[in-house]
Amino acid sequence: MMMMMMSSSSSSVAGNALSSTQKGVSSIKTTSGKKRTGLGGGGERTTRKQQPVLKVIASSSAAEVKGITPQEDIKKAATRAVASCVTSTALPILEEKKFKRYEGKVRDTYVDDDILVAVTTDRQSAFDRHLANIPFKGAVLNMTAFWWFEQTEKICPNAVLVKPPVHPNVSIMRKCEVFPIEFVVRGYLTGSTSTSLWTHYKNGGRNYCGNPLEDGMEKNVKLPRNIVTPTTKEKEHDRPISLEDIVKENWMNKEDLDYCVEKTLEIFNFSQQVAKERNLILVDTKYEFGKDPKTGKIYLIDEINTPDSSRYWIQNTYEERVLKNKQEPDMIDKEFLRLWFADRCDPYDTSKPLPEAPTELKAELSARYALLYEMITGEKFQIPDVRSNRDANVNVDDKIREALQNM
Ligand SMILES: Nc1ncnc2c1ncn2[C@@H]1O[C@H](COP(=O)(O)OP(=O)(O)O)[C@@H](O)[C@H]1O
Ligand SMILES: [Mg+2]
C-alpha cells in the first residue's frame, strides 16, 4: 500500500468538528506542526490564479440550494471552533488493536490486514506547506466523499464498510491492495501548472496520455468527450502515463486496467450529470481503485469528487464568462487562502515562518467549505457544536471502538 509515512508531532488541545449529540472521552489531539501537501483538482500541483468567488457563489448557486445555512451562522460557529480543529490524531483503540498509523497531507489513516480507518483532519495546505487549520473542513470533505460514494454505488462498488460514518471525520473502509495509478479524468481543457492539460496543449501537445487532442481549442473549453489521463503514484512526482504504458511497464494488468478505466468514465459522467443539476460543473477529478486480495474484487477507494480532489466550476456563468468574454470560469475551491498568503509573503520561502492566518479568515474559509457541501449535495451541513468539542473528540475513539466491535 502506498502511503506517506511521517512522524507525528501531536501536542496540546483536544477538539474538532462534531455534533452535540456526540459525547465521550478525548482522543484526538491537535498539533501546530507544519505538514506538507499540494495536490489540487485533477491531480496537479496547483498554483492556479483565481479571483475571489464568494460573492459569485453567494449570488448564484447558493441561493438555489434549498434551506442553505446562513453563512453568518457557520462563521460564528467556526469562530468558536478555530482553536479546536482536528489536526493530528492518536487513537488508543487503533493502537490497542495494533493498527499501523500513516499520516498523509490531510488524513490520518490506520490500517490492519482487513480494515482501514481514515480520519480526515482539518489541516489545510498549499505551496507544499501547512497553511492553517480550518474548522469543519475535515467533516465537509469526509461527508462529501461519503455522499458521492452512496450516489455512485450502483455504478461501482466502493470500499466503505460502515454506513453512515460513525463520526463526520471518520471513514471505515475495506482495506484493499491499492493500484499504483491515479485515474485522473477530465472534461475540460484547463489548468495552469507545468503538468496541466492546458499547458501541454498550449505548448503544442496534441496527445496527452494517449488521448489525441484536436487543433483550435481554447482554454477552459469542454473537451469533445471526457478523457482519462492517468498518473503513476510515485514517491517524488506523479507521472502522466498512457494506458498502453501502464500495462507495458507492469503497473497493472490489462483486465484490471480496462475495468478501472471503464468505471472511471462511468462514475465521472454520472457525477457530472448530478453536479449539473446543482448548477455546478465537475471539471476534473481523480479516482483510485484497489483490490480485495481475498476475493479479487475491485473497489473504488480513497475519497471521491471532493473539493480537494476535484475542480468544480459554476455552471450558469460559464457560457457568459468563458465562451463569450474569454474570462476565467467562476471556481469554487480553496484558492482564497492561497491568495491571502501569496499577498503577504513568499509562501515558497521555507526559511521563513508563514504569517498566522487570522481567525476571521479561517471562519470565512470554513463557511465556504460548509457551503460547498451544501451546494454539492443539496443537503444541510450539520454545524458541529464546539461547546462539546472536548467530549466529542474523545468520542471518536469510542465510536470507532463500537463500530469495530460490531463488525
Ligand atoms: N480502502 C482503502 N484500502 C487501502 N488503501 C486505501 C484505501 N483508501 C485509501 N487508501 C490509500 O490511503 C492513502 C491515503 O492517503 P492520503 O491521506 O490521501 O494521503 P496522501 O494522498 O497525502 O498521501 C492513499 O495512498 C490511498 O491510496
Ligand atoms: Mg490522497
Specify whether the CB–CB gap between 54 and 361 falls below 8 A.
no
Sheet architecture: strand order including 170-174? 100-103, 107-111, 115-120, 170-174
When comparing pLDDT for 40 and 166, which is higher? Answer: 166
The three cell numbers locating residue 376: 454539492
> Who contacts 361 (Cβ-Cβ below 8 Å, separation ≥6)?
132, 337, 340
- Alpha-helix residue ranges (DSSP H) falling in 153-205: 197-202
Q: How many A from CA of 160 to the centre of ligand 1?
A: 13
Q: How many A from CA of 3 to the centre of ligand 1?
A: 6
Question: What single-letter DSSP state applies at residue 386?
Answer: G
pLDDT at residue 343 above 70?
yes
pLDDT-based confidence at 60, cuts 50/70/90? very low
Atom of ligand 1 at shortest range from CA of 2: 25
- Give the three-state DSSP class for 55: helix
Rounded-to-integer distance, Cα 379 and Cα 86, Å? 23
pLDDT at residue 301 above 70?
yes
| Torsion from C-alpha of 108, 112, 115, 119, nearest 10 degrees | -10
Atom of ligand 1 at shortest range from CA of 174: 1
Is-cis flag, bond preceding 164, omega within 30? yes
CA-CA distances (angstroms) from residue 194 to 68, 83, 239, 299?
A: 38, 37, 12, 31
pLDDT-based confidence at 281, cuts 50/70/90? very high
pLDDT at residue 127 above 90?
no
For the chain, what percent of residues have pLDDT higher than 90?
63
Question: Please, what sign has the CA dihedral across residues 216, 219, 223, 227?
Answer: positive
pLDDT at residue 399 above 80?
yes
The whole-number pLDDT of residue 393 equals 60
Rounded-to-integer distance, Cα 85 and Cα 82, Å? 6
Q: What is the maximal distance between C-alpha atoms in the chain?
A: 61
pLDDT at residue 8 above 80?
no
Rounded-to-integer distance, Cα 16 and Cα 82, Å? 9
pLDDT at residue 168 above 80?
yes
Task: Name residues contacting ligand 1 (CB within 6 A).
Answer: 1-4, 104-107, 109, 116, 159, 173-176, 178, 288, 290, 301-302
For the chain, what percent of residues have pLDDT higher than 70?
80
When comparing pLDDT for 17 and 279, which is higher? Answer: 279
DSSP string, 17-49: ---TT------EEE--------B-GGGPBP---
When comparing pLDDT for 265 and 331, which is higher? Answer: 265
pLDDT at residue 54 above 50?
no
When comparing pLDDT for 58 and 90, which is higher? Answer: 90
Specify whether the CB–CB gap between 374 and 68 falls below 8 A.
yes
pLDDT-based confidence at 50, cuts 50/70/90? very low
The three cell numbers locating residue 273: 450529470
Best probe residue, ligand 1, of 107, 176, 291, 302 (max atoms within 8 Å of C-beta): 302
Q: In this structure, what are the phi and psi dihedrals at residue 105, rounded to the nearest 5 degrees?
A: -70, -40
Average pLDDT of the residues of the chain = 82
Comparing 21-25, 53-57, 175-179, 212-216, which segment has the lowest mean pLDDT?
A: 21-25
The whole-number pLDDT of residue 102 equals 96
Hey, whose CA ends up nearest to atom 24 of ligand 1?
A: 3
The whole-number pLDDT of residue 238 equals 86
* Burial readout 271-292 (b: 16 or more C-beta within 10 A, e: otherwise): bbebbeebbbbbbbbbbbbbbb
pLDDT at residue 41 above 60?
no
What's the average model confidence in pLDDT over 235-245?
92
